[in-house]
Amino acid sequence: NLQNEVSMALGQRLKEVRVQRGMSQAKLGALADLTQAAIGALESRDSKHSSMALQLARALHVSVDWLVTGEGPKSVPDADGECGDTDLYAGAPLNERDVMLHLLLELPRDLETERTKIVQSGRAVFRFAKTILTKADVIPESAVCTSVWGNSMAPVLPDGARVVVDTDDVSVKDGEIYAVNHDGMLRVKYLRRKPGGGLEIISQNSAEYAAETYSAEQVASGNIEVIGRVFWWSVLR
């Protein structure tokens, strides 16, 4: 059936990219927060858990659409190598002009539920220019990199846009873009303060995504946490 065909193709593409990256199943599993057995099951076409495709695509830095369907561009858009995957696994020497940033990922809590969690990559994997950090007055230890998925922030931040976040800057300034941990979901949105400590989450694409308002109680409960302000992004059209 169609699901079997998708799973088979996904497994074949997964193994192809993993081998090209020179990665073992165990290493990919560690990056994607999955077990080696889960990776092996997907590659052997035994698993129908295509929901794992998102974290696998992010760990391998390929398009999730390509990984699942084989259609569209394979690579995630990048710009000028300032925050890119050129040296993701190549181990190229780091020059004095650059730093390596950790990656924020949204991953499933387990394979049985739809709930997710936000984790930081175990090692710094993205090369970024020190000059940009200096201009933005951001210290390297506070900068993390992530990607925008979907069209809710288009056209400012289209699907696949790369953003860098200052995790020291969590005080909301109306109209700025922030990375937010919303009950385990990684969101990149405009934020606006509301009276009494509430928060409004706003998408650029307001025609399809209505603004969301949350009370101070909902924010304080821990369901909504500001990770940091987006101070840089890369878009390649």
pLDDT tens per residue, range 109-149? 655 556 778 888 777 777 889 999 999 999 999 999 998 88
For the beta carbon of residue 228, count every other beta carbon within 10 angstroms: 20
Could you tell me if 118 and 203 lie in one domain?
Answer: yes
Mean pLDDT of 6-35: 79
What SS3 class is residue 17? helix
Residue where one domain finishes, among candidates 75, 97, 130? 75
- Burial label, 219 (beta-carbon count in 10 A; 0-12, 13-18, 19+): middle
Q: Residue 40's closest CA among 62, 24, 21?
A: 24
CA 41 – CA 57 distance, rounded (Å)? 16
- Whether 104 and 37 map to the same domain: the answer is no
Distances (CA, A) of 197 to 4, 217, 231: 49, 8, 24
Q: Which of 22, 52, 75 is the last residue of a domain?
A: 75
The answer to whether the beta carbons of residues 42 and 11 sit under 8 Å apart is yes
Whether 125 and 103 have beta carbons less than 8 Å apart is answered as yes
- The overall pTM is greater than 0.85: no
Residues 48 and 128 both lie in one domain: no
Q: Where does residue 72 fall: left (phi above 0), alpha (psi -120 to 50 degrees), or beta otherwise?
A: left
pLDDT number for residue 107: 72
The mean pLDDT value for 52-68 works out to 76
Q: Please tell me the distance from the alpha carbon of residue 39 to that of residue 45, in angstroms, as a whole number.
A: 10
Which of 60, 75, 90 is the last residue in one of the domains?
75
222 and 193, same structural domain? yes
Whether residues 83 and 174 fall in one domain? yes
- Based on the domain organization, do 229 and 130 belong to the same domain? yes
**Residue with more model confidence, 106 or 171:** 171
Least confident of 83-87, 137-141, 161-165: 83-87
Domain count, the chain: 2
Q: What is the extent of the structural domain holding 231? A: 77-237
If asked whether residues 132 and 165 sit together in one domain, one would say yes
pLDDT band of residue 12 (cuts 50, 70, 90) is: confident
CATH of the domain at 14: 1.10.260.40
Claim to verify: residue 49 and residue 90 sit in the same structural domain? no
Residues 85 and 156 in one domain: yes
Q: What count of other Cβ atoms lies within 10 Å of the Cβ of residue 70?
A: 13
Instruction: Assess whether 91 and 58 both reside in one domain.
Output: no
Instruction: Give me the chain's average pLDDT, please.
Output: 80
Mean pLDDT on 97-119: 76
Residues 71 and 81 in one domain: no
Identify the CATH number of the domain in which residue 212 sits: 2.10.109.10
Same domain, 3 and 86: no
